[in-house]
Chains A and B, each alone.
Chain A
Amino acid sequence: RKEVEQDPGPFNVPEGATVAFNCTYSNSASQSFFWYRQDCRKEPKLLMSVYSSGNEDGRFTAQLNRASQYISLLIRDSKLSDSATYLCVVTAGGGADGLTFGKGTHLIIQP
């Protein structure tokens, strides 16, 4: 069983639409959760941390469900510049803070 599972997509979405991604993680000891964004052949960049209470940053909303081990990301009013691969990331748990990455969900915003 993969540690962090995501739908790889691609998701083709018209500009201005709302799109949501999900991921599930297998390690119940994971303590911290993140969404990263990775552009083609570049390093990942932190988009936002994810909390159980849910958190919002502009057009982006993230949610964590610890009971179901499920993380979501919602993007509203999508822009062309949102086209990227979105990586669901959790910490390894057990006192280690190396990151465990999902394979990513590829998002393409179409004009």
Chain B
Amino acid sequence: GAVVSQHPSWVICKSGTSVKIECRSLDFQATTMFWYRQFPKQSLMLMATSNEGSKATYEQGVEKDKFLINHASLTLSTLTVTSAHPEDSSFYICSAKEGTILYNEQFFGPGTRLTVL
């Protein structure tokens, strides 16, 4: 099956710093990538949808200036958490979809666990 990687696997940072998370599709071209986050004992929540070469579409309640998404190539999307605070501590997971057919299977990365002190 298709493989999606994320880097880093986990990160611990001080409050106020910015953290960049990378999501890569290793063996396919990802026209669309999605970013989710999961707080403890909560469901995964979609943060934004990113199409290669265009601006990301953010879900209601997600601050686009705080969570910067870049999808500059068909194999790489990045999420930057700017000025991170303890409440941003969460499990961030990306997924990637090949092609433009709606509802094609999404392949998930292994996730990045962010802890903000």
Task: Give CA–CA (A92, B108) in the complex, Å.
Answer: 17
A91 vs B49: C-alpha distance when bound (angstroms): 13
A21 within 8 A of B: no
8 A Cβ contacts from A73-101 to B: 87, 91-92, 95-101
Query: Within the complex, what minimum Cβ distance (angstroms) separates B13 from chain A?
Result: 19
When the two chains form their complex, are residues B111 and A42 in contact, meaning their CB atoms are under 8 A apart? Answer: yes
Given A42-B110, A43-B108, A43-B110, A95 contacting B43 (CB threshold 8 A): no
Check B34 against A101 for contact (C-beta < 8 Å): no
- A4: interface (CB < 8 Å): yes
* Those of A38-76 within 8 Å (CB) of chain B: 41-46
Q: Check B116 for interface membership: any CB of A closer than 8 A.
A: no
A101 near B44: Cβ-Cβ < 8 Å: yes
Beta-carbon contacts under 8 Å, A1-33 to B: 4, 31-32
Number of residue pairs A-B, CB distance < 8 angstroms: 52
Majority secondary structure of chain A interface residues (helix, strand, loop or mixed): strand
| Interface residue from B32, B41, B46 paired with A100 (Cβ < 8 Å) | B46
B105 engages A97 (CB within 8 Å): no
The tally of residues in B whose CB lies under 8 Å from a CB in A reads: 26
Q: Give the complex CA separation of A104 and B95 in angstroms.
A: 18
Given the complex, which residues of A lie within 8 Å of B91, measured CB to CB?
41
CB distance from A105 to the nearest CB of B (A): 11
B55 to chain A, nearest CB (A): 15
Give Cα distance in the complex from A98 to B95, angstroms: 10
* 1/0 contact string of B73-117 vs chain A (CB within 8 Å): 000000000000000000101010100001111101111010000
8 A-B pairs with least C-beta separation: A98-B46, A43-B108, A101-B44, A101-B43, A103-B43, A32-B103, A43-B111, A43-B110
| B contacts, CB < 8 Å to A | 32, 34, 36, 41-46, 49, 57, 59, 91, 93, 95, 97, 102-106, 108-111, 113
Q: Which residues of A contact B (CB under 8 A)?
A: 4, 31-32, 41-46, 87, 91-92, 95-104
